[in-house]
């Protein structure tokens, strides 16, 4: 035989490919059998898969599924209970499989029990639609509704609805807490992340709001709500180049859904694109769906006024007044429009259906109760005050802090506490915020950043809640702080503020006439020095405060009579003459 024939003969040896007999092999064979409706073979292969991987719950569930298809419900349930009790209790879908089997066996009470376990414990909700159909069946068969505490897979949606309600009510800190928890549980819940960015914005936390909205756009670049929110954030943080690029994109977008049209229109108006904004507002008014909303006519009027279409603006504000006769907003802007026509005022750019912030302050100075009620009731007004707390000038911030003290709810307290630890805020403003917090009865420990250092302020006295903080009270406090500057640390200054609030709370409403404010300020320093065992002389106090020793003595005695400082300090020296 030639060498070539010998080589050919050798090459004819069979090439054997070994079959790997593992769980995957038998799973694939089972699936093939299922495709041919060979249930007996499929069951045999799934049993083999279980033998190779007994700790894999999926193999057991597959086997239970085949048994159920074959009508062997009891055997299927035995397997499913074994998965839950011995292999993986987190396989909550097994409860749904059990419920399905029990329903097929007409054991409806057992089916109900298993279905409730599924709904209340399953996070993913894979069989939620089927479960709701089964609930209807059980309602019919048992002649009563099934009691369910919660549907686990929908908890985030329920929580999101609650957060939206809080946002609409102006309770931004509470909404933030819920939304952050939702996102931690479900990072891909973009609506919640969008609203979280909005809540940060309402609280004046720009960097966090922009960062959060960008996270939404990374996941869904065309998300219209996120794009609109980002445009407003860019404008208020003076990021003009980024805003211009974004507006080019928005102006090329034509939203269809009314909610999206409204969002686009208000956004374009807020950032100064009045012509495009008015075009979208007109689209909404023509459809009729929102034509009965006074706020929509107000927005359209603002856009028209900025386009010098004053007759059109007047028509819209008059229509808003007709729809909402009790609101001061349309009347205010109709008066403003007359000034705009005469060239005395610029067209308003306030795309919110409430009075401008400056007008709210003017009303507050006339009647504090008006703004107090508005702050409690109107989330947009609340948001404007929180905004001013972060971004107003110093005088505005002082007024905002005092105004928020009138409301004194948890949202306000949280905002003022957050203000105290902001390194970028003025230390004097923080003293006002501390004073307001103490005056409204906040007695817990306060953390304050002064001169770049975090200080802890313990509450040493309990004060009753005071009414509106009086300007004279504040003036005395400011004078005392100025006189103590450089001589007392921030904790000692805080004790002086607490003493002043404590005194006023004890004597209110019979507060004596505070005509000699410097004398009161000197008396406050006197008692602060005594409380901290610091040496202070009358000569020094008279020199620095420019008042007589007799005045200081008199006011110090009045403070002591109300607060009992001498007794608390166990001072044995006689009282002032």
The residue with tokens 């946002």 is 167
Rounded to an integer, the average pLDDT of 542-560 is 91
- Say what the pTM is: 0.56
Residues 6+ apart with CB under 8 A from 157: none
Q: Which of 43-52, 229-238, 295-304 has the lowest mean pLDDT?
A: 43-52
Residue 527: the pLDDT is: 92
The full set of domains in the chain, from first to last, is 23-152 (1.25.40.10), 153-253 (1.25.40.10), 469-577 (1.10.472.10)
- Across the chain, which distance is largest between two alpha carbons, in Å? 139
- pLDDT confidence tier of residue 2, bands split at 50, 70 and 90: very low
Cβ-count burial of 308 within 10 angstroms (0-12 exposed, 13-18 middle, 19+ buried)? Answer: exposed
- Please tell me the predicted confidence (pLDDT) of residue 497: 82
Q: Print the SS3 string covering 123-150.
A: CCCCCHHHHHHHHHHHHHHHCCCCCCCC
Q: What is the 3-state secondary structure (H, E, C) of 84-130?
A: HHHHCCCCCHHHHHHHHHHHHCCCHHHHHHHHHHHHHHCCCCCCHHH
> Which residues on adjacent β-strands are paired with residue 455?
448
Q: What is the pLDDT of residue 566?
A: 83
**Average pLDDT in the 4-17 region?**
47
Q: With CA atoms as reference, report the closest residue to 476 among 500, 450, 440, 506.
A: 500
CA distance 555 to 490: 23
Contact 368, 406 (CB under 8 A): yes
Across residues 47-57, what is the average pLDDT?
Answer: 75
In the prediction, which pLDDT does 379 show? 66
467 band by pLDDT with thresholds 50, 70 and 90: low
- ∠ at Cα 20 (16, 21), nearest 5°? 125
Q: What tens digit of pLDDT does each residue of 86-101 get?
A: 888 878 888 888 998 9
Q: Could you tell me the pLDDT band of residue 572, with boundaries at 50, 70 and 90? A: very low
447: enclosing H helix or E strand: strand 446-450
Q: How far is Cα 513 from Cα 523, in angstroms, rounded to an integer? A: 15
Which pLDDT does position 308 carry in this prediction?
A: 94
| 427 or 149, greater pLDDT | 427
Residue 1 has pLDDT above 50, yes or no: no
Predicted confidence (pLDDT) per residue in 337-375, tens digit: 999 999 998 998 878 887 777 777 777 666 666 666 767
C-alpha span between 76 and 96 (Å, rounded): 12
Given a cut of 60, is residue 553 above it in pLDDT? yes
Examine the pLDDT at 12 and tell me if it is beyond 60: no
SS3 assignment, position 319:
helix
User: Average pLDDT in the 442-454 region?
Assistant: 81
Q: What is the pLDDT of residues 300-339, one digit of tens each?
A: 999 999 999 999 999 999 999 999 998 889 999 999 999 9
- Is the predicted pLDDT of residue 273 greater than 50, yes or no? yes
What average pLDDT does range 203-217 have in this prediction? 87
Decide if pLDDT at 536 tops 60: yes
3-state class of 514 per DSSP? coil
pLDDT score recorded for residue 447: 85
More confident residue, 59 or 531: 531
What pLDDT was estimated at residue 17? 43
Rg of the chain over all Cα atoms, to the nearest angstrom: 36
What string of H, E and C letters represents the secondary structure of 23-74? HHHHHHHHHHHHHCCCHHHHHHHHHHHHHHCCCCHHHHHHHHHHHHHCCCHH
Contacts of 573 (CB under 8 A, 6+ apart): none
- Number of residues assigned to the chain: 577
């Amino acid at each position: 035989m030639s060498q070539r024939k010998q080589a050919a003969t050798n090459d004819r040896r069979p090439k054997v490919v070994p079959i790997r007999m593992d769980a995957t092999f038998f799973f694939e064979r089972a699936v093939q059998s299922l495709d041919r409706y060979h249930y007996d073979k499929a069951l045999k292969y799934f049993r083999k898969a279980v033998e190779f991987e007994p700790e894999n719950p999926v193999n057991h569930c597959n086997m239970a599924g085949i048994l159920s298809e074959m009508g062997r419900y009891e055997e299927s349930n035995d397997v499913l209970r074994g998965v839950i009790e011995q292999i993986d209790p987190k396989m909550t879908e097994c409860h749904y499989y059990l419920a399905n089997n029990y329903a097929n066996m007409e054991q409806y009470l057992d089916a109900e029990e298993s279905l409730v376990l599924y709904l209340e414990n399953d996070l993913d909700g894979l069989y939620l639609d089927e479960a709701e159909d089964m609930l209807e069946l059980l309602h019919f068969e048992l002649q009563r509704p099934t009691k369910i505490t919660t549907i686990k897979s929908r908890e985030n949606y329920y929580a999101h609805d609650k957060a939206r309600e809080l946002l609409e009510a102006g309770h931004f800190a509470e909404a933030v807490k819920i939304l952050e928890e939702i996102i931690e549980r479900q990072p891909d819940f973009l609506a919640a992340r969008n609203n979280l960015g909005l809540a940060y914005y309402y609280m004046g936390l720009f960097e966090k709001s922009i960062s959060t909205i960008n996270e939404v756009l990374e996941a869904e670049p065309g998300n219209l709500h996120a794009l609109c929110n980002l445009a407003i954030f860019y404008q208020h943080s003076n990021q003009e180049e980024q805003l211009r690029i974004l507006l080019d994109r928005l102006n090329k977008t034509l939203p269809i859904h009314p909610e999206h049209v409204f969002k686009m229109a208000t956004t374009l108006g807020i950032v100064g694109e009045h012509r495009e904004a008015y075009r979208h507002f007109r689209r909404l008014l023509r459809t009729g769906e929102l034509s009965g909303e006074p706020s929509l006519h107000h927005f359209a009027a603002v856009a028209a006024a900025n386009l010098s279409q004053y007759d059109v603006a007047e028509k819209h504000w008059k229509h808003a007044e007709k729809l909402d006769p009790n609101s001061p907003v349309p009347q205010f802007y109709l008066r403003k429009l007359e000034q705009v026509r005469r060239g005395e005022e610029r067209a308003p750019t306030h795309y919110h259906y409430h009075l401008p912030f400056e007008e709210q302050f003017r009303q507050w100075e006339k009647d504090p109760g008006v703004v107090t009620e508005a702050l409690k009731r109107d989330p947009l007004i609340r948001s404007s005050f929180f905004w001013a707390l972060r971004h107003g000038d110093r005088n505005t911030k002082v007024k905002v802090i005092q105004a928020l003290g009138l409301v004194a709810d948890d949202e306000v307290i949280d905002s003022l506490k957050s203000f105290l630890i902001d390194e970028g805020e003025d230390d004097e403003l923080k003293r006002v915020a501390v004073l307001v917090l103490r005056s409204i009865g906040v007695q817990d420990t306060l953390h304050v950043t002064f001169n770049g250092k975090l200080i802890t302020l313990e509450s040493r006295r309990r004060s009753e809640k005071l009414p509106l903080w009086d300007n004279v009270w504040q003036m005395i406090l400011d004078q005392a702080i100025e006189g103590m500057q450089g001589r007392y640390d921030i904790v000692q200054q805080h004790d002086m503020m607490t003493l002043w609030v404590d005194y006023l709370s004890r004597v209110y409403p019979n507060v004596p006439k505070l005509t000699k404010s410097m004398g009161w300020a000197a008396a406050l320093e006197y008692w602060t020095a005594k409380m901290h065992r610091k040496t202070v002389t009358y000569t020094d106090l008279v020199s620095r405060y420019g008042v007589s020793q007799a005045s200081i003595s008199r006011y110090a005695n009045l403070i002591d009579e109300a607060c009992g400082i001498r007794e608390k300090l166990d001072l044995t020296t006689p009282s002032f003459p």
